Amino acid sequence: MPCYWKKKTKREEFLEIMEEIIPWDEWVRVIQPYYRKAKRGRPPMGIERLFIQSFPRFCPM
């Protein structure tokens, strides 16, 4: 019998809370002009991805 209900992981719960608390669109608009451009070398990661990876380090729950 397949299970269609999946328990949320702590990461998924954390990201849902962060979506409610932090206005991501506003942060992206503020940082976008200063974020590095891909001129040569390794391409930069997206700003949203950077936020998702960085916030748990600086804002532990």
Contact at 8 Å (CB) between 36 and 44? yes
pLDDT of residue 26: 82
pLDDT value at 1 more than 60: no
Q: Each residue of 7-57: pLDDT tens digit?
A: 888 888 877 887 788 777 788 888 888 887 778 878 878 877 877 777 666
On the 0-12 / 13-18 / 19+ scale of CB atoms within 10 A, 50 is: middle
Helix axes 10-21, 47-58, angle to 10 degrees: 110
**DSSP per position, 16-35:** HHHHHHS-HHHHHHHHGGGS
